[in-house]
Amino acid sequence: MRGFIGALLSSQDRWAFTRGDPLVKLGKMAALAGMAKAQYDQVVADEALKRAILEQRMAAEKEFSVQATPSFSFQGGGTIRNQSGNMPFDRFQQLVLEVRPV
């Protein structure tokens, strides 16, 4: 499963920004990973699953104060620091070091 998720994320530019239906591209990737078309179609049509994913995403956005993509939550030393938006690597490294246990 981890390999499939890696492949899915590394090829996001091919399916997320396609001129056609991204579900067709995702279906082809699922088939390559061994998922039967009937199972894929069932998952895509599952409204309860879609609702659960959306609710979980919205709860996480609220809990971690996500306001942009990317967003990071740095936790350490009893504190949580949220950082939204793009930042230089040096700033990201500084935030990691601030919460890193000694």
* Predicted confidence (pLDDT) per residue in 11-67, tens digit: 888 888 888 899 999 999 899 888 999 999 999 999 999 999 999 999 988 888 888
Residue 102 pLDDT greater than 80, yes or no: no
Rounded to the nearest 10°, the torsion over CA 85, 86, 91, 97 is 60
Q: Give the C-alpha separation, 44 to 46, whole Å.
A: 6
> What is the number of other CB atoms lying within 10 angstroms of the CB of residue 74?
17
Q: Which residues contact 100 (CB under 8 A, 6 or more apart)?
A: 76
Confidence of residue 1 (pLDDT cuts 50, 70, 90): low
- pLDDT given for residue 31 in this prediction: 92
Single pTM value for the model:
0.63
Share of the chain above pLDDT 90, in %: 37
- pLDDT given for residue 23 in this prediction: 93
- Tokens linked to 51: 């609702």
Q: Give the C-alpha separation, 10 to 94, whole Å.
A: 27
Higher pLDDT, 97 or 47: 47
Query: Which strand (E) or helix (H) includes residue 63?
Result: helix 47-63
